[in-house]
Amino acid sequence: MSVDMNMNILIVDDYKTMLRIIKNLLKQLGFNNVDEATDGNMALTKLKEKKYGIVISDWNMEPVTGYDLLKKVRSDDALKALPFIMITAESKTDNVIAAKEAGVSNYIVKPFNAETLKSKLVSVLGEF
Protein backbone atom coordinates (compact mmCIF):
# COMPACT_ATOMS: atom_id res chain seq x y z
CA MET A 1 0.00 0.00 0.00
CA SER A 2 1.48 3.31 -0.96
CA VAL A 3 1.09 6.44 1.11
CA ASP A 4 -1.21 9.13 -0.25
CA MET A 5 1.09 12.16 -0.40
CA ASN A 6 -1.99 14.35 -0.87
CA MET A 7 -3.62 13.24 2.36
CA ASN A 8 -4.56 15.92 4.87
CA ILE A 9 -2.28 16.07 7.89
CA LEU A 10 -3.23 17.86 11.10
CA ILE A 11 -0.43 19.18 13.27
CA VAL A 12 -1.28 20.34 16.77
CA ASP A 13 1.02 22.49 18.90
CA ASP A 14 0.51 25.60 20.99
CA TYR A 15 3.93 26.87 19.96
CA LYS A 16 3.73 28.61 16.57
CA THR A 17 7.43 28.13 15.84
CA MET A 18 7.06 24.37 16.31
CA LEU A 19 4.06 24.31 13.94
CA ARG A 20 6.17 26.07 11.32
CA ILE A 21 9.09 23.67 11.81
CA ILE A 22 6.90 20.56 11.51
CA LYS A 23 5.07 22.00 8.49
CA ASN A 24 8.41 22.70 6.77
CA LEU A 25 9.69 19.19 7.54
CA LEU A 26 6.49 17.67 6.11
CA LYS A 27 6.89 19.82 2.97
CA GLN A 28 10.47 18.57 2.58
CA LEU A 29 9.07 15.03 2.73
CA GLY A 30 6.51 15.86 0.04
CA PHE A 31 3.35 16.47 2.09
CA ASN A 32 1.65 19.75 1.23
CA ASN A 33 -1.86 19.45 2.68
CA VAL A 34 -1.05 20.38 6.25
CA ASP A 35 -3.49 22.06 8.62
CA GLU A 36 -2.64 23.49 12.03
CA ALA A 37 -4.38 23.63 15.38
CA THR A 38 -3.02 25.38 18.47
CA ASP A 39 -4.80 23.23 21.06
CA GLY A 40 -6.72 20.00 21.47
CA ASN A 41 -10.15 21.61 21.26
CA MET A 42 -9.35 23.30 17.95
CA ALA A 43 -7.92 20.00 16.70
CA LEU A 44 -11.11 18.11 17.59
CA THR A 45 -13.21 20.68 15.74
CA LYS A 46 -11.01 20.34 12.63
CA LEU A 47 -11.10 16.54 12.86
CA LYS A 48 -14.89 16.62 12.73
CA GLU A 49 -14.94 19.00 9.74
CA LYS A 50 -12.44 17.27 7.46
CA LYS A 51 -10.89 13.85 6.82
CA TYR A 52 -7.26 13.55 7.92
CA GLY A 53 -4.76 10.81 7.19
CA ILE A 54 -2.74 11.40 10.37
CA VAL A 55 -2.49 13.66 13.41
CA ILE A 56 0.87 14.84 14.73
CA SER A 57 0.37 16.42 18.13
CA ASP A 58 2.48 17.95 20.84
CA TRP A 59 1.95 16.48 24.31
CA ASN A 60 2.23 19.65 26.42
CA MET A 61 -0.57 22.08 25.58
CA GLU A 62 -3.22 24.01 27.48
CA PRO A 63 -6.12 23.64 28.13
CA VAL A 64 -6.41 20.28 26.31
CA THR A 65 -3.15 18.32 26.18
CA GLY A 66 -2.05 16.08 23.32
CA TYR A 67 -2.66 13.12 25.63
CA ASP A 68 -6.26 14.27 26.26
CA LEU A 69 -6.70 14.79 22.51
CA LEU A 70 -5.41 11.27 21.84
CA LYS A 71 -7.87 9.79 24.34
CA LYS A 72 -10.75 11.74 22.78
CA VAL A 73 -9.77 10.64 19.26
CA ARG A 74 -9.49 6.98 20.34
CA SER A 75 -12.92 7.09 22.04
CA ASP A 76 -14.63 8.54 18.94
CA ASP A 77 -15.91 5.80 16.61
CA ALA A 78 -15.37 7.97 13.52
CA LEU A 79 -11.76 8.79 14.47
CA LYS A 80 -10.46 5.89 16.54
CA ALA A 81 -8.46 4.28 13.71
CA LEU A 82 -6.76 7.56 12.77
CA PRO A 83 -2.95 7.31 12.93
CA PHE A 84 -1.68 9.57 15.75
CA ILE A 85 1.92 10.55 16.43
CA MET A 86 2.73 12.30 19.70
CA ILE A 87 5.60 14.75 20.05
CA THR A 88 7.12 15.27 23.46
CA ALA A 89 10.12 17.10 24.87
CA GLU A 90 10.41 14.55 27.66
CA SER A 91 11.24 10.93 27.02
CA LYS A 92 9.79 9.97 30.41
CA THR A 93 8.96 6.29 30.43
CA ASP A 94 5.67 7.04 32.22
CA ASN A 95 4.55 9.32 29.38
CA VAL A 96 5.53 6.81 26.72
CA ILE A 97 3.67 4.01 28.52
CA ALA A 98 0.60 6.20 29.09
CA ALA A 99 0.54 7.24 25.42
CA LYS A 100 0.96 3.62 24.26
CA GLU A 101 -1.88 2.49 26.54
CA ALA A 102 -4.06 5.32 25.20
CA GLY A 103 -3.42 4.05 21.65
CA VAL A 104 -0.75 6.33 20.22
CA SER A 105 0.64 5.07 16.88
CA ASN A 106 4.15 6.34 17.57
CA TYR A 107 5.95 9.18 19.29
CA ILE A 108 8.81 11.56 18.58
CA VAL A 109 11.09 13.13 21.16
CA LYS A 110 12.17 16.74 20.53
CA PRO A 111 14.42 17.91 19.02
CA PHE A 112 14.03 15.97 15.79
CA ASN A 113 14.83 16.35 12.09
CA ALA A 114 13.21 15.39 8.78
CA GLU A 115 14.82 11.91 8.87
CA THR A 116 13.37 11.15 12.29
CA LEU A 117 9.96 12.44 11.24
CA LYS A 118 10.08 10.38 8.05
CA SER A 119 11.06 7.19 9.89
CA LYS A 120 8.15 7.66 12.33
CA LEU A 121 5.72 8.37 9.47
CA VAL A 122 6.96 5.29 7.60
CA SER A 123 6.51 3.15 10.73
CA VAL A 124 2.90 4.34 11.01
CA LEU A 125 1.83 4.83 7.37
CA GLY A 126 4.22 2.64 5.37
CA GLU A 127 6.92 3.56 2.83
CA PHE A 128 6.65 6.72 0.72
Per-residue pLDDT of the chain (128 residues; tens, 9 = 90+): 579 999 999 999 999 999 999 999 999 999 999 999 999 999 999 999 999 999 999 999 989 999 999 999 999 999 999 999 999 887 788 888 999 999 999 999 999 999 999 999 999 999 99
Query: Residue 107: beta bridge partners?
Result: 86
106 touches 78 (CB < 8 A): no
What dihedral angle (degrees, nearest 10) is formed by the CA atoms of 88, 89, 91, 96? Answer: -20
Prior bond of 83 cis (ω within 30°): no
* pLDDT confidence of residue 1: 58
Beta bridge partners of 88: 109
Nearest to 90 by CA among 72, 107, 71: 107
Ordered domains of the chain (ranges, CATH) = 9-125 (3.40.50.2300)
